[in-house]
Structure 1
């Protein structure tokens, strides 16, 4: 059976002026055939030879074979560059003559020419190969990582309810939970994270924060820098509303209070009259 979106070995069943026809075998029972264009046919190819090819569709929506190596197969993931953006979606360079279509409805953010995005390859209702940025169901759950490991991942979706979804190594399922997702994140960001939990199903919980004792030092430096930007007097203290703290520092209220406590202990700030003063 000739499989769309897959690399497979097929037999040369007929030679023609414009290429060769490939099938699973030679014989009267042969039903499925696909054309390998002449410019793709290796020199010296003859009837009965077996070739490894990739099957996709040409601009006329006909099955066609190629000996070129695509960046992804059906159901697989790849980071691809946007070649062009049209009225109904974007087109990605995946190593074949015909660019891969990324519909607007399959984008988790609007993409622009020249940028890279993580996508999975799927077949739409018309059996055409397309790309999707909604890669959650395509990610693996058998990563080699354990709690405490440092990993690199790409943000592929952001949820107000769950947090920041990250594809670790562009292939494993990871999440920065909402409680940990302090600061600004964008789809496409490549992050350095720490594994904080490996769930029973293999999915990874992540944090961009360092281990607690390191993170408090970093947060304290951040808080002190912001106080300096307020000319040394912060117009609120650690009892401020969480949204104010998030806006000014990109920290949770608890992280802010820990950082301020650290600075108080080091006698670098003081709290007086509902304000924080740099010493």
Structure 2
């Protein structure tokens, strides 16, 4: 049985307050409120297993926000002399001990953590020192590769990001043109693998690929616009461009240039006209 993860366990017997499930670690309770209608003795059920407030193994059909071995951004519910207690979607909050914190936390704050099984206490706990749990192996990718980006922390330079669940990278503030929230997962790209092994990242493709992808996006918007007229041009404000298209002005101008060279658009300072829009 995997503590802190989902398990498929057989219903051994039923009691007034729930059902006991059998496992290699002994029987554990699935409280009645978590039992699906029609469940009978002998059925195999999929449940998440953790410890209750009295350290007893217990099962639930609720979906926690994080499993053991995963990163997540969770909200602080309470703080005590033991540490911070995080909302992870279950009745019993997830403990973030003081020794695993970077700084003192307050209720309502969001914090990025790694969930793991403490070998001494056999309890599921969190650590805000999430970098400790990243891979120590060289990153296998290269510049230009797509990647899954988990926004872990904001700094003066930009956003610290967990790349593909294994390595750390950064999205610089001056290259991010949309609001990012801790815990968000975005598709992005590797800009550079630095000598120290960390990664410079981008939410958009670089160079020719970036312009090509942006031009396809812009062409789609033009085709959907009334009469093929989009009220954005070379002199438009960057905020207006981002709000409508989700791209920076720099990328927008590259896309305009690509479509203009293909003879698909007519350009004006404040708008762009799709040629042959009625065809």
2:93 paired with 1:99? yes
Question: Deviations along 1:181-239, whole A, 9 cap, x unmatched?
Answer: 9xxxxxx699x99844226997524599xx9xxxxxxxxxxxxxxxxxxxxxxxxxxxx
Alignment gaps of 5+ in structure 2: 174-181, 207-279
Q: Match of 1:198? A: 193
Residues 86 and 93, structure 2, Cα contact 8 Å, conserved in 1: yes
Question: Deviations along 1:12-32, whole A, 9 cap, x unmatched?
Answer: 0111111111014xxxxx762
- SS of structure 1 residue aligned to 2:99: helix
- SS of structure 2 residue aligned to 1:171: coil
2:70 paired with 1:53? no
Alignment gaps of 5+ in structure 1: 25-29, 182-187, 212-279
Structure 1 residues 201 and 40, CA, compared in 2 at 3 Å: closer, same or farther? farther
Q: Match of 1:37? A: 31
Query: Where in structure 2 are the equivalents of 1:1-279 lying within 5 Å?
Result: 2-24=1-23, 32-124=26-118, 125-139=120-134, 146-147=143-144, 154-156=151-153, 166-168=160-162, 171-175=165-169, 195-198=190-193, 203-205=198-200
What is the distance in 1 between the residues matched to 2:124 and 2:145? 39
Q: Match of 2:223? A: none
What is the distance in 2 between the residues matched to 1:138 and 1:128? 17
Structure 1 residues 59 and 155, CA, compared in 2 at 3 Å: closer, same or farther? closer
Pairs aligned (count): 195
Compute the RMSD of aligned alpha carbons: 4.2
Name which one, 1 or 2, has greater alpha-carbon Rg.
Answer: 1
Structure 1 residues 42 and 31, CA, compared in 2 at 3 Å: closer, same or farther? same
* Deviation (angstroms), 1:88: 2.1
- SS of structure 1 residue aligned to 2:122: coil
* Deviation (angstroms), 1:93: 0.5
Residues 142 and 192, structure 2, Cα contact 8 Å, conserved in 1: no
What is the distance in 1 between the residues matched to 2:40 and 2:144? 55
Residues 196 and 206, structure 1, Cα contact 8 Å, conserved in 2: yes
- SS of structure 1 residue aligned to 2:3: coil
Question: Deviations along 1:80-119, whole A, 9 cap, x unmatched?
Answer: 1111112221111000000101111111232221121111
